[in-house]
Amino acid sequence: MSNIENCIIIGSGPAGWSAAIYAARANLRPLLFEGAMTEENRVMGRFPMGQLAQTTEVENYAGFPSGKLKEFLSSAIDPSRQYMFPPVEEHAHAVTGPELMELMRQQATNFGTRVITDDVVSVDFSKQPLVLNTSENGSYETRTVIIATGASANYLGLPSEEKFRNRGVSACAVCDGALPRFRNKSLVVVGGGDSAVEEASYLTKYASKVYLLLRRGEMRASKIMQERALSNPKIELVKFSVVDEVLGDDVDPRVGVTGVRIKNLQTNDTSVLEATGMFLAIGHTPNTKFLGGQVETHENGYVAWKQPYRTITSVPGVFAAGDVADDYYRQAITSSGTGCMAALDAERFLASAGFH
């Protein structure tokens, strides 16, 4: 540990990069931990660049209508990072998640944000300066911290689901959907929200059929996404049903999942859907473990804002933005908005403490 940082941002989704853009333009020289590129982070959905980097098109982030965005993207983003998003000729609906995230990262680094590809694994928020301990890069002292670590996909918690993780069970269709085991086969997507419909629609590019498993008689997804599911001939809704057990061969990893036994909640009958994959899209849990309980959270684990319309947490100098503090809106654009708010709050905190 040597010099004390003004502002450290943890997380590299829209909240993190938006906070970085504002903090950098306020001359705070922010340092951003974007997460480590480990296999564990990949499997748990905590890879750098956040959840958006694992989605397809982002149709509701203002400013990126469909069209020929390819030339703009290649002129805006450093060529050394263009491998991070697959080339798309025509953007049928909008910018893609990976592209949007690279644009945000580029904008943040253009203004001088320093980026470290590592995880913050624990903190000491008992006094100023605040201390962050990283996985590979030692410890850092800082006057302010912006927590923007987002949320990770939930799993059902069944032992059979655990057994087949990476052998047919996944929570990221975009990461895993193109694998040979899923091609021209039937697949199951669990959940009825926007994520589930998005995952199911994406998987129809490869699968012969996708069962969308709903525990109720209707989808939670927005109307436009519901219509997309209903009009896709490869998607079949299976209503009032939950997963009873994931079936397959866990001895030979090449086989993996062969089916999903489901239970109808109205009749209690069980039946088997033949499938080589099961994709979870049943909501998220905020990534707060590394905080070790030092920042107050709500009962559901999301970081609590201690003043209405402010990103102020229970610890002076610590602010929270994006999905880690939002169990309600959870949109890319609201995450960006709260990232901006957190940077402004951090700047005002530093000013009132006489540091800036």
- Per-residue contact track with ligand NDP, 238 to 277, x per CB under 6 A? ----x-----------------------------------
Cα distance between residue 281 and residue 172, in whole Å? 8
Cβ atoms within 10 Å of 83's Cβ, excluding its own: 8
Overall residue count recorded for the chain in this entry:
356
Nearer to ligand NDP by C-beta: 102 or 194? 194
Check binding of 326 to ligand NDP (CB under 6 A): no
Contact 313, 306 (CB under 8 A): yes
Q: Identify the residue among 194, 326, 345, 347 touching ligand NDP (CB under 6 A).
A: 194
- Count helices and strands in the chain by DSSP H and E runs: 9, 19
Cα distance between residue 247 and residue 87, in whole Å? 36
Contacts with ligand NDP in 41-60 (CB under 6 A)? 59-60
Check binding of 196 to ligand NDP (CB under 6 A): yes
Check binding of 156 to ligand NDP (CB under 6 A): yes
Nearer to ligand NDP by C-beta: 176 or 198? 198
Residues known to be catalytic: 172, 175-176
The sign of the CA dihedral 293, 297, 303, 304 is negative
Q: Identify the residue among 152, 195, 287, 311 touching ligand NDP (CB under 6 A).
A: 195
Check binding of 301 to ligand NDP (CB under 6 A): no
Report, in Å, the least distance between residue 223 CB and ligand NDP. Answer: 11
Report, in Å, the least distance between residue 201 CB and ligand NDP. Answer: 10
Report, in Å, the least distance between residue 260 CB and ligand NDP. Answer: 12
Check binding of 191 to ligand NDP (CB under 6 A): yes
Q: Provide φ and ψ at 41, rounded to 5°.
A: -65, -35
- Per-residue contact track with ligand NDP, 5 to 44, x per CB under 6 A? ----------------------------------------
Q: Identify the residue among 117, 237, 250, 283 touching ligand NDP (CB under 6 A).
A: 283
Check binding of 193 to ligand NDP (CB under 6 A): yes
Give Cβ neighbours of residue 127 (< 8 Å, ≥ 6 apart).
none
3-state secondary structure of 258: strand
Stretch that binds ligand NDP, among 35-43, 123-131, 135-143, 190-198 (CB under 6 A): 190-198
Contacts with ligand NDP in 89-148 (CB under 6 A)? none
Check binding of 281 to ligand NDP (CB under 6 A): yes
3-state secondary structure of 289: helix
Cα distance between residue 209 and residue 186, in whole Å? 5
Cα distance between residue 4 and residue 246, in whole Å? 50
Give Cβ neighbours of residue 52 (< 8 Å, ≥ 6 apart).
13, 14, 58, 97, 98, 100, 101, 332
Nearer to ligand NDP by C-beta: 143 or 284? 284
Tokens of 39: 């296999």
Tokens of 38: 């480990």
Check binding of 190 to ligand NDP (CB under 6 A): yes
Cα–Cα distances (Å) from 235 to 16, 51, 274, in that order, read 35, 24, 14
129 cis-preceded (ω within 30 degrees of 0): yes
Report, in Å, the least distance between residue 215 CB and ligand NDP. Answer: 4
Check binding of 215 to ligand NDP (CB under 6 A): yes
Report, in Å, the least distance between residue 170 CB and ligand NDP. Answer: 14
Diameter over CA atoms, the chain: 67
Binding site for ligand NDP (CB under 6 A): 59-60, 156, 190-196, 198, 215-216, 220, 242, 281-283, 330
